[in-house]
Amino acid sequence: MNLFRFVGKEFSYNYGSLKRLIPIIAIFFIPILYAGIFLWAFWDPYGHLNRLPVAVVNEDAGSTFAGQRIQAGQQLESQLRKNDDFQWSFVSAEKARAGLEDNQYFMVLTIPKDFSSDAAKAATTVGAPQPKLESVTNDRHNYIAGIIGKNAMEKLQAQTAQQLTKTYTTNLVTGIKQLEVGFQKASGGATTLATGANSLSKSSPKLVSGAKRLATGSDTLAGGIAQAAAGANQVESGTQSVYAGNQQLSVGLGQLAEASGKLSAGAASVNQAAKQLQSGLASEAAGAKQAATGAAGLAQGLSQYLAAHPELANDPLFQALVQASQQVAAGTSQVSSGSDALASGAKTLSSGTNSLDQGLGAFAPKLQQAATGAAALVKQEPTLVQGSRQVATGLAQLESGASQLQTGAGSLMSGVNQYADGAKQVATGSSQLASQLRSASAKMPVIHSGQVVSATSNPVGLSQSQAGDIPNYGTGFAPYFLSLGLFVGALLMSIIISFRDPAEKPSSSFAWFLSKTLLVGSVAVAQALIADTILLSALGLHVGDVTHFVLFSLLTSLTFVSIIQFFVTTLANPGRFLSVIVLILQLTSSSGTYPVVLSPPFFQHLSRYLPMTYTVDGFRYLVGGGKVSFMHSDIWHLFVYWGVFVGLTLVYFLVRGHFVLKDAKPQAPSGMHSVEA
């Protein structure tokens, strides 16, 4: 009974006096004040980023891409105006710079003047600069705000890059579609070309054969024209001789007519002249006949050549040559007939000279007619001479043209052979081209423009899930701040409540230990229950199992108070200092903020030996909806800590109580029994 009476006395002493009760009640709220205010202040800071002032400076001048005007900076500005991720302020560069220096803005986003231009060049020019957004964060004003701003800029960069990629891909897909249509048209054109080339190749042998015949005919023509030209030259020479003889004949006949009175006296001379005339006219008749035959043959040859080559019908030079040859043939025929008549007359004249004397009276009129006919013949012969000269000149020109024709026919033959070979190559190549174009067109993938643009601009989706229900920043940090608040509450409790001095002289060392342990334990329980109640009801902290959460909070609070009770009971103020050191080490090694694996190795190794590591881990399972079975390790570690430090405190009271009870001093005036350390 003395045990329970002493414990009751301890409780009565601390809770029975209003002066001492008020500070204890205040201690009840230390954990929730510490943890609750922190969590309340930072419960969901990312949900209020629209309060964070950010300046936007748009200096973009726009550009042209694929024939279209683009305003990438203006599009980005319009996009920012539509969202409320931040408190956007669209200002000038000077105002943004001044606002950043005056801590009016936490960040300045600048869209450079070359943003659209660089975006256009990036898709068309090798080595073109990458379009960039410029951001300046005010880290000296608030580093966390700077980190938030940088993360937001990375997201904005990704969104802008996705929009630009969509623009690039749209133009690329359009070009591919046009390429596909071009392949199809090229395939049809190549097929038509191949058909025409094959037809052309099949016609090549006929063309080669015709070219050969043309070359052979041109050789024959050149030879014939050369012979005709030689004959024409002879005709021209003969006609000139006939003309000269006829002139002499005309003069002689004139003289004969005038000297008809003297004819008798010169009969012998006439007889001799008649013989000479007969001989000359015989020669002239033979030459005229030869000229007539040559001219007729030339005219007939030219007519046959014209019939064989109708394409010369439109050649004025050749037509003139044909007409001239016909005229020469007609003239030479007339000359031949006249020459025959002259020859016959000369013969008659020669025969009649013997009887000239007898028929001189009757011969005078006939002689006058002969003189007249000779004069007329002389007048016609210049035309014959001129015609023969034209024939010779025309045949010379024809001979030159025939030579050129012969040379051209040879070149044509060579070119036609090359043409035939080329036609075969064109037919083969165009057939291969048509086949390859049809194959390429068939192999072109079926492109759905909208799908390709979507897949390229946003090629990878992201499906995120989380192990645990952590809706906001405050929920995620609640395990850390609750553990911290309970530890701080236990530490401040040691200032208000004496962890060592009893209310009166203890009846036993164990009664002394039990009274202090139950007292501080009751305060620890009250602190945990109040903190849990306000977190769950006022802040709306969501936990998977409320009962397990409360029980684990009680275990955490009792474990922390047992540690601090041992240090403060045994060492007093140095024990409090040591408890602060333990708190600091736990803050840096319990993974409350960042994972401990990101800390230096010292804290990683130290983490497993400190109790807050297990309290934070246990609360996270409870807040995140984890199973209690996952917390077995955390619970057993806390029970070990609690048992060890409660045991150590008991040992201290047992040892210390032995000396205190043996040599007790009078009771302290205030009612608290002082015990020297």
In a domain, 382, yes or no: yes
What is the pLDDT confidence band of residue 268, given thresholds at 50, 70 and 90? Answer: low
The pLDDT value recorded for residue 88 is 92
Task: Report the alpha-carbon distance of residue 449 to residue 172 in Å, rounded.
Answer: 10
| Residue predicted with more confidence, 452 or 151 | 151
Task: Report the alpha-carbon distance of residue 360 to residue 261 in Å, rounded.
Answer: 9
How far from chain centre, in Å, is Cα 658? Answer: 91
In a domain, 8, yes or no: yes
How far from chain centre, in Å, is Cα 499? Answer: 78
User: Residue 67 corresponds to which tokens in the numbers above?
Assistant: 């024939």
User: Residue 456 corresponds to which tokens in the numbers above?
Assistant: 């390229």
> Which residues does residue 65 pair with via DSSP β-bridges, in sequence order?
68
Q: Provide CB contacts within 8 A for 6, sequence distance 6+.
A: 502, 504, 506, 507, 508, 511, 512, 515
User: Residue 287 corresponds to which tokens in the numbers above?
Assistant: 């030459």
- The reply to whether 242 and 176 lie within a common domain is no
Instruction: Assign 675 to helix, strand or coil.
Output: coil
Q: Which of 236-240, 246-250, 459-463, 505-509 has the highest mean pLDDT?
A: 505-509
What is the pLDDT confidence band of residue 667, given thresholds at 50, 70 and 90? Answer: very low
Task: Report the alpha-carbon distance of residue 484 to residue 39 in Å, rounded.
Answer: 12
What is the pLDDT confidence band of residue 68, given thresholds at 50, 70 and 90? Answer: confident
Q: Which helix (H) or strand (E) holds 48?
A: none
- The reply to whether 559 and 491 lie within a common domain is yes
- The reply to whether 568 and 512 lie within a common domain is yes
∠ Cα 316 318 324 (to 5°): 100
pLDDT digits (tens, 9 = 90+) for 581-596: 999 999 999 988 888 8
- The reply to whether 233 and 331 lie within a common domain is yes
Instruction: Assign 488 to helix, strand or coil.
Output: helix
| Residue predicted with more confidence, 31 or 224 | 31
In a domain, 438, yes or no: no
pLDDT digits (tens, 9 = 90+) for 152-211: 677 677 767 666 666 656 666 666 666 667 667 776 776 786 787 677 667 667 766 776
The pLDDT value recorded for residue 320 is 79
The pLDDT value recorded for residue 183 is 62
Task: Report the alpha-carbon distance of residue 460 to residue 449 in Å, rounded.
Answer: 18
Lateral strand order in the sheet of 53-58: 87-90, 53-58, 107-111, 134-137
The pLDDT value recorded for residue 583 is 96
- The reply to whether 322 and 374 lie within a common domain is yes
In a domain, 299, yes or no: yes
Domain closes at, from 398, 433, 457:
457
Task: Report the alpha-carbon distance of residue 269 to residue 282 in Å, rounded.
Answer: 20
The pLDDT value recorded for residue 555 is 97
What is the pLDDT confidence band of residue 145, given thresholds at 50, 70 and 90? Answer: low
The pLDDT value recorded for residue 179 is 65
Task: Report the alpha-carbon distance of residue 555 to residue 614 in Å, rounded.
Answer: 11
The pLDDT value recorded for residue 566 is 97
DSSP code per residue over 494-544: HHHS-SS--SS--SSHHHHHHHHHHHHHHHHHHHHHHHHHHHHHTS----S
> Region 517-535: what's the mean pLDDT?
96
Return the minimum-mean-pLDDT range out of 24-28, 180-184, 527-531, 644-648: 180-184
In a domain, 339, yes or no: yes
pLDDT digits (tens, 9 = 90+) for 283-314: 777 877 887 787 788 778 878 887 887 777 78
**CA nearest neighbour of 256 among 248, 347, 352, 280:** 248
Q: Using the 8-state DSSP alphabet, how is residue 155 labeled?
A: H
**CA nearest neighbour of 570 among 503, 645, 668, 662:** 645
- The reply to whether 261 and 225 lie within a common domain is yes
- The reply to whether 221 and 353 lie within a common domain is yes
In a domain, 427, yes or no: no
- Specify the CATH number for the domain of residue 133: 3.40.1710
The pLDDT value recorded for residue 670 is 44
The pLDDT value recorded for residue 443 is 66
The pLDDT of residue 87 is above 80: yes
Residue 34 · residue 481 · CB < 8 Å: yes
What is the pLDDT confidence band of residue 261, given thresholds at 50, 70 and 90? Answer: low
The pLDDT value recorded for residue 20 is 85
| Long-range CB contacts for residues 368-374, cutoff 8 Å, separation at least 24 | 368/257, 370/253, 370/256, 370/345, 371/250, 371/253, 371/254, 371/256, 371/257, 374/246, 374/249, 374/250, 374/253, 374/254
Residue 140 · residue 106 · CB < 8 Å: no
| Residue predicted with more confidence, 560 or 400 | 560
In a domain, 170, yes or no: yes
Task: Report the alpha-carbon distance of residue 448 to residue 453 in Å, rounded.
Answer: 9
| Residue predicted with more confidence, 274 or 126 | 126
Task: Report the alpha-carbon distance of residue 443 to residue 569 in Å, rounded.
Answer: 87
User: Residue 626 corresponds to which tokens in the numbers above?
Assistant: 């984890």
- The reply to whether 230 and 180 lie within a common domain is no
User: Residue 157 corresponds to which tokens in the numbers above?
Assistant: 């960069």
> Which residues does residue 70 pair with via DSSP β-bridges, in sequence order?
63
Task: Report the alpha-carbon distance of residue 606 to residue 597 in Å, rounded.
Answer: 12
The pLDDT value recorded for residue 248 is 74
Mean pLDDT of the chain: 79
| Residue predicted with more confidence, 341 or 609 | 609
The pLDDT value recorded for residue 192 is 80
The pLDDT of residue 513 is above 80: yes
Instruction: Assign 588 to helix, strand or coil.
Output: helix
pLDDT digits (tens, 9 = 90+) for 363-400: 667 667 766 866 776 676 677 667 667 756 766 776 77
CB atoms under 10 Å from CB of 304, counted, come to 11
The count of structural domains within the chain is 3
CA dihedral 314, 316, 318, 322 (to 10 degrees): 100
The pLDDT of residue 8 is above 70: yes
pLDDT digits (tens, 9 = 90+) for 320-357: 777 877 887 787 788 678 767 767 766 776 676 666 56
pLDDT digits (tens, 9 = 90+) for 402-417: 677 668 667 766 776 7
519: containing domain:
2-44+472-662
- The reply to whether 56 and 29 lie within a common domain is no
pLDDT digits (tens, 9 = 90+) for 416-442: 677 667 767 766 777 777 677 677 666
User: Residue 294 corresponds to which tokens in the numbers above?
Assistant: 């040559």
- What whole-number percentage of the chain has pLDDT above 70? 70
State how far the alpha carbon of 274 is from the alpha carbons of 76, 342, 451, 603, in Å: 128, 11, 120, 160
The pLDDT value recorded for residue 676 is 47
- The reply to whether 128 and 212 lie within a common domain is no
- The reply to whether 246 and 182 lie within a common domain is no
β-strands 53-58, 87-90 pairing: parallel
The pLDDT of residue 580 is above 50: yes
Residue 508 · residue 58 · CB < 8 Å: no
Alpha-carbon radius of gyration of the chain: 68
The pLDDT value recorded for residue 589 is 92
User: Residue 370 corresponds to which tokens in the numbers above?
Assistant: 């002969």
Instruction: Assign 42 to helix, strand or coil.
Output: coil
**CA nearest neighbour of 616 among 481, 475, 471, 474:** 481
In a domain, 465, yes or no: no
The pLDDT value recorded for residue 530 is 96
- The reply to whether 34 and 55 lie within a common domain is no
3, exposed or middle or buried, with CB in 10 Å at 0-12, 13-18, 19+?
Answer: middle
